[in-house]
Amino acid sequence: MNRKRILFTGGGTAGHVIVNLALIPYYREKGWEIDYIGSYNGIERDLIGQMYGVTYHPISTGKLRRYLSKENMKDPFKVLKGTMQAYNIIGKRKPSVIFSKGGFVSVPVVAAAKLRRVPAVIHESDYTPGLANKLSIPFARKVIATFPETMKYLPEEKSEYVGAVIREELFQGDREKGLAYAGLSKGKPVLLIMGGSGGSQKINDTVRESLSELLNNFQIIHICGKGKLDDTYQKKGYVQFEYIHDELKDIFAATDYVLSRAGSNAIFEFLALRIPMLLIPLSREASRGDQIINAESFASKNYARVLEEENLTNEQLVRELNRLKEYAPVMLDKMKEYHSEKSRDRVIEILKEVSL
């Protein structure tokens, strides 16, 4: 009897990979053949390329740029080439279903799936759909949403709100292991700082310039992004990492508060783990504004406090983090009302329902 095969796609940022990482272990455990289509050099190749039980296929892909560039002229040809590559891969591997997390690498894959008549399911994790998913939705069999408010932006006949899909491993973290890994003690609350998968230079600089005051109230784990370590800052209670992978669950378990960008996958993980958060969303100048909307949604539910990047100064950062500590009991009470356990199971059910 032929084994079932599933193909995943998504990339460009860690947020376009995380949900795939949450689902892949289930299909690996059930004995499915697993393929992944990503870009040649994106973060998805680093996160998925060496993953046990997954065959990684790189393809050509375009990129959304919010500035004038001659590269924009080349992108349609890159997408066309990627579609042809994906069409050949799908024809050869013959998946029963395709799951797309988004990012521009997913557009040619979902288009090729339609040409091959293989059902594709798209996951939209932001409050409003991104451009890549907008382009892909007409080719998909089903679209699923993380925010209930997102449903008004999606075609009613093939869309469903499922909630956030959280990696199960994150609930298995060990606080003592996390503290030991970071070289911190049990005596003072731990503040985790994350500036997105690529890091944020402005957040990094402001945090480092404010260390003397922040370390009065917190121990700090600073995930600052690749190439953004600064060894001139050597202070007790402050530790820097470019990126944390396998130990992340233990770091989360050791975390009392988090300062983060407002990518939807990350903030829903903090919500599920009940970590009070201060969010500094990407500005509209640097993005389409989706993180601002995500952050506002969380703030309206008392899951988070928000500090706009335009207002980020040393004094304001210290003030808002102290307020986060003060408001944390209210946030924790609200977070207890949120339950994420059924979301992953429902996504798996949907993939089963639409598969060949």
Element (H, E) at 327: helix 314-335
Report pLDDT for 66.
Answer: 52
179 and 324 inside one domain: yes
Mean pLDDT of 145-172: 94
Higher-pLDDT residue of 66 and 317 is 317
296 and 309 inside one domain: yes
Name the average pLDDT for the chain. 93
Mean pLDDT of 57-86: 78
Is the pLDDT reported for residue 262 higher than 70?
yes
Q: pLDDT digit string (tens) for 176-203?
A: 999 999 999 998 999 999 987 777 899 9
Q: Domain containing 158: what range?
A: 5-165+340-354
144 and 186 inside one domain: no
Round to whole Å and give the CA distance between 212 and 245.
28
Sheet holding 159-161, edge to edge: 54-59, 33-39, 5-9, 97-100, 120-124, 142-145, 159-161
142 and 267 inside one domain: no
pLDDT category of residue 259 using cuts at 50, 70 and 90: very high
29 and 66 inside one domain: yes
41 and 149 inside one domain: yes
46 and 129 inside one domain: yes
Mean pLDDT of 192-215: 92
Alpha helices (H) in 137-256, listed in sequence order? 175-182, 201-209, 211-214, 248-254
Report pLDDT for 291.
Answer: 93
117 and 241 inside one domain: no
Residue type, 132: A
Report pLDDT for 314.
Answer: 97
Round to whole Å and give the CA distance between 16 and 9.
9
pLDDT category of residue 235 using cuts at 50, 70 and 90: very high
pLDDT category of residue 2 using cuts at 50, 70 and 90: low
Closest CA to 202 of 292, 285, 282: 282
Higher-pLDDT residue of 245 and 151 is 151
The whole-model pTM stands at: 0.87
Report pLDDT for 267.
Answer: 96
Round to whole Å and give the CA distance between 111 and 61.
13
How many folded domains does the chain comprise?
2
Tell me what percent of the residues of the chain surpass a pLDDT of 90. Answer: 82
55 and 137 inside one domain: yes
Mean pLDDT of 98-118: 96
Radius of gyration of the chain (CA): 20
Sign of the C-alpha dihedral computed for residues 173, 177, 180 and 185 taken in this order:
positive
102 and 240 inside one domain: no
Report pLDDT for 261.
Answer: 95
140 and 263 inside one domain: no
For 172, 190, 208, 226, 247, the CA distances from 181, given in Å and listed in that order, are 16, 13, 21, 19, 8
Q: pLDDT digit string (tens) for 264-300?
A: 999 999 999 999 999 999 887 777 889 999 999 999 9
Beta strands in the chain (DSSP E): 5-9, 33-39, 54-59, 97-100, 120-124, 142-145, 159-161, 190-194, 219-223, 238-241, 257-260, 277-279, 304-306
Q: In CATH, what number is assigned to the domain containing residue 327?
A: 3.40.50.2000
197 and 300 inside one domain: yes
Report pLDDT for 226.
Answer: 87
Q: pLDDT digit string (tens) for 10-51?
A: 998 888 999 999 999 999 999 999 999 999 999 999 999 889
Is the pLDDT reported for residue 169 higher than 80?
yes
For 200, 202, 264, 312, the CA distances from 194, given in Å and listed in that order, are 8, 12, 13, 15
Report pLDDT for 197.
Answer: 72
Q: Which residues of 314-341 are buried (b: 16+ CB within 10 A; e: fewer)?
A: beebbebbeebbeebeebeebbeeeebe
Tell me if 176 sits within 8 A of 153, measured CB to CB: no
Is the pLDDT reported for residue 347 higher than 80?
yes
